[in-house]
Structure 1
Amino acid sequence: MVALSTQEKEIPFLKQENPLMGSLLEHNRDRLNFYMRLWQEHGNVVGFHFGPFPGVAFFAPEQVRSILVEHGYDFDKGVAIHTIFRAVVGDGIFSSEGEFHRRQRKIMAPPFQPRHIVSYADTMVRYSEQIQRQWQDGEKILINHAMTDLTMSIIGKVLFDADVLKETDELGNAFTMMFSYVGKELTRLIHLPLGWPLPGHAQVRTAARLLQDRLRQMIRERRMRPLDERNDVLSLLLRARYDDGSAMDEDQIIAEALTLFGAGHETTAVALTWAWYLLTQNPERYRKMRQEVDTVLQGRSPTYDALAQLPYTVQVFKEALRLYPPAYAFTRTALKDVLIDGYRVRKNTVALMAPWVMHRNPEHFPDPERFEPERFGPEREKLIPRYAFLPFGAGPRICLGNHFAMMEGPLLLATLAQRVSFEFVSGQQVIPNPSNTLTLRPRDNVSMIVRRRV
């Protein structure tokens, strides 16, 4: 780890910005290239404006560590996250702050500890086996929708013990609508209240009410029976107690459940979509992963224990997360003046960090645009600075489901790779487009042809 500077330095700000909008229009037009331009032209630290509001981009691993770990509670998520998420979802673990966030994280952490998530592995594999049985040899599928349906079904079972939950179902559609609204609103400079009679607002409010009502029904059903009869996360949250012996109230449980659902299916679905795309564009590495799966599993369904014998499959998933991190950028707002690597981040200033850029730094990832899972092999991975690879954040706000995702992704890759192969349909242009979404989805649907394996 490179030592941070203790001598105060002046933040270099962009000199050519729109006098009214700052860099907001360029950011909203093509944010990935905007982030890359900031780093390539100005280095690891550069200031900018979104409208009248100042921000500072930090791209060095040690700077990101300082913000997220050392000063984790000297920053918060910012007004936009608070306003938009709380209006739609409630004040769940993603948007809560300070002592309340610490209290919520402590009570919610046990279901996502490695020793507990092992029990979800069979569910992940079972749903993967089910979805591939629906595909006919030679059938053309939209891999992005297939992965969303799969991960949505898995998280629906894990969280709610619900057997049918996918993008096309009423509840799945409501989730999609609600989180699409959040993604669009986060790109706006001014956030108009959800209660205002504006286009789309009524549908979002209806979707939120539908989800809240269904969750209240699920909670009532569980309270009619002994809570220890079920092992889904909703039941675990109902049983959980704070240090003083009190339980979460119903509104808070609903807010946390909605937050977990959104985070629990979207990020993994996006990562898997990019993993299959990358594999179909790199046939030698696709063959290498299939060979590992065939040799280790020999026709058996994978288990959690089998992951230790599938290192290359895990490396493939990590490399997909590197090249196309679902959380491609995130921000924190300073609660007071904070010194980061000698640069004074003033109170209320936004600090921007972009894994999209950091994962493409050739100093840490040679030939960074190349799909090379081997860079996450045991010896080479040791050479990567700790905070240079940042798919799940870091510090006290690190993604609660990071262990869940790192189990689910490789298990789903192995299960499907054993049964089918995918062929990329030629003529498509697959471009990442984070506009109006919370994660790094492809701009368009991605078509693939299913080939059943003998």
Structure 2
Amino acid sequence: MGDRPTRVERGTAILEEPATASPAVNLPPGPRIPKALQGIGYAVSRTWTYQQIARRHGSVFRMNLPVYGRTVIVADPQLAKQLFMAGTDDVGNIQPNLSRVLGDGSVFALDGSDHRLRRKLLTPPFHGKSVKNYEKIFEEETLRESANWPEGQAFSTLEPMMRITLNAILRAVFGAEGEQLDELRRIIPPWVTLGSRLVVLPTPTRKFGRYSPWGRLAGYRRQYDAVIDKLIDRVKSDPNFDSRDDVLALLLRSTYEDGSAMSRSDIGDELLTLLAAGHETTASTLGWAFERISRHPQVLTKLVDEAATDDNEYRQATILEVQRARTVIDAVGRHVYAPTFELGEWVIPRGYSIVVAISQLHRRAEDFPAPETFDPTRFVGTRPPFAFMPFGGGTRRCVGAVFANVEMDVVLRTVLRHFEIDTTSAPDERAHSRGVAYTPKDGGRVVLHRRETPLDQEKR
């Protein structure tokens, strides 16, 4: 913009006013290593790479990454807050983003007023009374999945949690049942696994055939679109359509402020977004929860005692501590659209990405004393500090955060009521990157024993 004058209308006169010059660019320091090496480190282990660079350059530094280009990494909660509160004309949706995989109709693809209007449509089904209606589904799917769990031998909880969260979200969000439910169960798991891995890689200029990863992803999407089209027809023809409480029906009934409705394509993209964002991440956190509590006997004892009551304060605190100590989504970002954006003492030019390193914020001793200690009591009766952001922050905070936390609460309570969990002195499981999410490397392995129910005792 420089010093070019701005034309301002005042009544009938047009005045020439000098435009305010943008402040001079002032970038934070960064490593002096080739872009390729930075990219390799970022792809292999983002968390480890953040830690190594932060040791030398502090809580704000710059990198040059293959997918996002020139990027500023932030691990300071006040600067993260400043970024999240900034106007959408100055900083917006990071580029590229998950819409590469989820579709142009996804909330991840939208920015500015379009994003605000879409969130307004999506928010009601994921809050308060609406989520309360789904608790029975969460419990039913947990009991269904756990009916054949092995007793007395170690097994991975991650894949069972994936099935529980998938079935729960298909029922609660899609309203799927029968043939469509079976088809989506078949399509979604391989699609989510493949999409999570591809989204962190540069998009190729060509798909390289149907047997290539991108070609297979497109094939899953075509199958998904066909199922969703049939599902929408079935839901709209339901005589009880106006009273249905699944998210698909709510989206089909909802309208924007001008009275227009979402297109079928946008609904398909949005449902896929809700599923991809809420299925794998919730299951991963639950896998970490079993890995953590099996290694902390005192925590497990308190959870078991509480599960016999209607309370959930300690269980909720434990879920928050799992999200802090074993962060599943380790970063969120924005893109600078203003000529320059002031972030604390730094001035970042247009075209840069700004990534908030959530995993580093969750390890700040200033906000979480003894951060390496697994201690749910840090969240009992206290409000989490701003440094705690497992669902991101600002206008792009995960719309399904309440849904996910209620689901995790019900699943964990149901397992604790029906099974005894053996404690172990085995080493902590290491984190494994599935592309977008971090999961326990061995799948959150535990040893379970089925509890006797009152009915079992009567039979004896």
Q: TM-score, normalised by structure 2?
A: 0.86
Q: Partner residue of 1:413?
A: 412
Alpha carbons of structure 1 residues 84 and 99: separation in structure 2 relative to 1, 3 Å: same
Q: Partner residue of 1:70?
A: 86
349, 353, 356: which is aligned to 1:350?
353
Could you give the per-residue CA deviations for residues 294-345 of structure 1, whole angstroms, max 9, x where no partner exists?
A: 2x1xxxxxxxxx4xx2211111111000011221112211112211112112
Q: Partner residue of 1:39?
A: 54
Q: Partner residue of 1:54?
A: 70
Identity of aligned residues (%): 24
Q: Partner residue of 2:20?
A: none
Deviates more, 1:268-277 or 1:123-132: 123-132
Alpha carbons of structure 1 residues 428 and 206: separation in structure 2 relative to 1, 3 Å: farther
Q: Aligned to 1:81, what secondary structure does the other structure show?
A: coil
Distance 2:350 2:25 in 1: 17
Q: Partner residue of 2:331?
A: 329
Counterpart residue type for residue 445 of structure 1: G
Q: Is the 8 A contact 1:420 1:451 kept in 2?
A: yes
1:371-386 aligned at under 5 Å gives the runs: 371-378=374-381, 381-382=382-383, 384-385=384-385
Give 5+ residue unaligned stretches, structure 2: 1-22, 453-460
Distance 1:195 1:99 in 2: 32
Q: Partner residue of 1:101?
A: 115
Counterpart residue type for residue 310 of structure 1: N
Distance 1:101 1:42 in 2: 35
Q: Is the 8 A contact 1:148 1:166 kept in 2?
A: no
Q: Partner residue of 1:301?
A: none
Q: Aligned to 1:333, what secondary structure does the other structure show?
A: strand
Q: Aligned to 2:449, what secondary structure does the other structure show?
A: strand
Could you give the per-residue CA deviations for residues 30-81 of structure 1, whole angstroms, max 9, x where no partner exists?
A: 2111112233322221112115931111111111011112345532333321
Q: Aligned to 2:335, what secondary structure does the other structure show?
A: strand
Q: Partner residue of 1:172?
A: 185
Q: Is the 8 A contact 1:132 1:420 kept in 2?
A: no
Deviates more, 1:129-138 or 1:358-367: 129-138
1:81-100 aligned at under 5 Å gives the runs: 81=97, 84-85=100-101, 88-100=102-114
Give 5+ residue unaligned stretches, structure 1: 1-6, 297-305
The answer to whether residue 284 in structure 2 is matched with residue 317 in structure 1 is no
Distance 1:143 1:293 in 2: 19
CA shift, 1:425, in A, is: 7.6
1:204-215 aligned at under 5 Å gives the runs: 204-215=217-228
Q: Is the 8 A contact 1:212 1:254 kept in 2?
A: yes
1:177-188 aligned at under 5 Å gives the runs: 177-188=190-201
The answer to whether residue 372 in structure 2 is matched with residue 369 in structure 1 is yes
Counterpart residue type for residue 182 of structure 1: G
Q: Aligned to 2:97, what secondary structure does the other structure show?
A: helix
1:187-202 aligned at under 5 Å gives the runs: 187-188=200-201, 190-193=202-205, 195-197=207-209, 199-202=212-215
CA shift, 1:229, in A, is: 4.2
Could you give the per-residue CA deviations for residues 262-294 of structure 1, whole angstroms, max 9, x where no partner exists?
A: 112111111111011000011111111101112
Counterpart residue type for residue 65 of structure 1: K
Q: Is the 8 A contact 2:165 2:279 kept in 1?
A: yes
Q: Aligned to 1:47, what secondary structure does the other structure show?
A: strand
Counterpart residue type for residue 229 of structure 2: R
Q: Partner residue of 2:457?
A: none
1:54-453 aligned at under 5 Å gives the runs: 54-72=70-88, 74-81=90-97, 84-85=100-101, 88-138=102-152, 140-163=154-177, 170-188=183-201, 190-193=202-205, 195-197=207-209, 199-226=212-239, 227-294=241-308, 296=309, 306=310, 309-336=311-338, 337-378=340-381, 381-382=382-383, 384-385=384-385, 387-423=386-422, 430-434=429-433, 436-453=434-451
Counterpart residue type for residue 25 of structure 1: I
Alpha carbons of structure 1 residues 165 and 157: separation in structure 2 relative to 1, 3 Å: farther
Distance 2:319 2:370 in 1: 18
Q: Aligned to 2:278, what secondary structure does the other structure show?
A: helix
Counterpart residue type for residue 353 of structure 1: V
CA shift, 1:128, in A, is: 1.8
Counterpart residue type for residue 332 of structure 2: F
Counterpart residue type for residue 43 of structure 1: G
Q: Partner residue of 2:38?
A: 23
Report the RMSD for the aligned CA atoms in angstroms. 2.5
Q: Is the 8 A contact 2:25 2:348 kept in 1?
A: no
Distance 1:194 1:98 in 2: 30
The structure with the largest strand share of the pair is 2
Q: Is the 8 A contact 2:98 2:108 kept in 1?
A: no
Counterpart residue type for residue 190 of structure 2: M
CA shift, 1:194, in A, is: 6.2
Runs of 4+ in 1 over 4 A off after TM superposition: 163-167, 424-429
CA shift, 1:415, in A, is: 1.1
Could you give the per-residue CA deviations for residues 80-129 of structure 1, whole angstroms, max 9, x where no partner exists?
A: 216623xx534311222222111111112111122321111121122222
CA shift, 1:453, in A, is: 1.7
Q: TM-score, normalised by structure 1?
A: 0.87
Distance 2:179 2:278 in 1: 13
Q: Is the 8 A contact 1:315 1:377 kept in 2?
A: yes
Counterpart residue type for residue 416 of structure 1: V
Q: Partner residue of 1:303?
A: none
Q: Is the 8 A contact 1:425 1:447 kept in 2?
A: no
Q: Is the 8 A contact 1:150 1:166 kept in 2?
A: no
Deviates more, 1:193-202 or 1:268-277: 193-202
Q: Partner residue of 2:15?
A: none
Distance 1:254 1:166 in 2: 14
Counterpart residue type for residue 48 of structure 2: N
